[in-house]
Chain A
């Protein structure tokens, strides 16, 4: 087992050194491909974060006063229940509000406790019509126990729409560059197999199994993919503060509406990006060995 691992790693390393220019080309293309893939994921996360309270048709939020008596909450709930223009609503207690706060603004979570946050109703109206929503907001604003009513503004909707479009464009570009990187890896593996055709001939002659012959080439492709993904991740890491600053520095943006991603979302994206790089490498090299290394 150990001798096999050392054999495979020696072979893969020798191949990478043999065709440095092709390796560099493959690695950089993978880096750009995963940069776009990561960018797509992060853009989606950022837009979702900045509009998190306005998902699933929620058009306005009724924030309740602290220390509101339970019967006032119940009567507001039953009024919402019976209102003909309201499709559905959700009650957010302080713990749910705290969970949301922790997800969206983890950096400030330490300074906040659940009892500092207001409870609220998240309301989905029958139609997302501006006049209807503002009339509903006016109705509930004056009810006892209501702190304030906040409605989704036009800019939230625009932001969601813009996010969707940016995502589509990024996905298309990511797809194109991913195809290019698979083809480049395919070609560099083909070159590596050609450089080693004498070895491959001897291996077949003495009875090496197909998988044994193919494995170093697939490993090599995956190393290309992983190296590219690491470069791409480094680029994402260095671009992150700049891109966040670009959007959030323009004007004063409300605390919950900043375009930003949390650390755990960023780490999750990096993990996906690394897997994506490995996958691109595996696909390109598997394609090459499948095509050119038959018995």
Chain B
């Protein structure tokens, strides 16, 4: 599903974000990406959505070598990838329902699909009673659920999560992890960058550790450090 071969990325010719990273992530895997700040975790995720382009090496996502992907095809790559973030990136002037529907609307899905998919996904994330709430009226955990619903409503093959629990308390974080685990069990590949030692140590999934842009550990059923 995801394959990197000897990938490197240098910002402005000096800051090395990634160097010589090679790895394989199979369909349906759940992978934690750990390492100190500035170790290249975010760059790794941004390469997969082609928000950044690698300076060297090759990146395959869903069977395509994306360094050579022409720019008009990038949106179609992104439709296979859901992304969630520490700061949720919700639209504050839209309701929960509208935030999720927006993701389908802007890729041209017809109204009939929107009217069935959005309630289904809001049910899955446990927000059936919050359709008309605005993001500011929700707790952090609820906001992250909305953002997961938005990322997953189009049933992507891959879900990328950049510190999704960074702003949440431990109890809420655990609920979010249960949700991600559930999504993973539908066959979706999940890659999650995190600093949360408790979560990594509890879940015991594959752990990939980066340090100064280098891959220093790749361990099945690993722990944080």
Contacts and interface: CB of A to CB of B under 8 A. Distances in A.
A295 interface: yes
Interface size class of A (residues with CB under 8 A): 10 to 19
A199 B91 CA distance: 7
Given A198-B91, A199-B91, A206 B107 contact: yes
Given A206-B78, A208-B106, A212-B108, A198 B72 contact: no
Contacts of B111: 2-3
A3 B110 contact: yes
A203 interface: yes
A96 B106 CA distance: 60
Contacts of A208: 75, 106-107
A202 B89 contact: yes
A84 interface: no
Interface in A71-119: none
B8 interface: no
A194 to B, nearest CB: 15
B78 A204 contact: yes
Contact of B75 (A3, A201, A202, A210): A210
A207 B105 contact: no
A2 B154 CA distance: 20
Given A3-B105, A4-B108, A7-B105, A210 B72 contact: yes
Interface in B72-88: 72, 74-79, 81, 83
Task: Select the residue from B71, B76, B107, B150 with max chain A CB neighbours within 10 A.
Answer: B107
A7 B101 CA distance: 12
Given A3-B105, A198-B89, A212-B106, A205 B72 contact: no
A209 interface: yes
Contact of A202 (B49, B102, B154): B102
Nearest to A201: B89
A209 B77 CA distance: 11
B103 interface: yes
Interface string B142-175: 0000000011001000000000000000000000
Which are the 4 A-B pairs with shortest beta-carbon distances? A207-B78, A207-B79, A208-B106, A206-B103
Nearest to A4: B108
Contacts of B108: 3-4, 212
B76 to A, nearest CB: 7
A295 B89 contact: no
A212 B72 CA distance: 12
Give the most central of B74, B75, B77, B107: most A CB within 10 Å. Answer: B75
A167 B137 CA distance: 62
A83 to B, nearest CB: 70
A202 B76 contact: no
A207 B77 contact: yes
Contacts of A295: 71, 74
A209 B114 CA distance: 18
A207 B89 contact: no
B82 to A, nearest CB: 8
Nearest to A213: B106
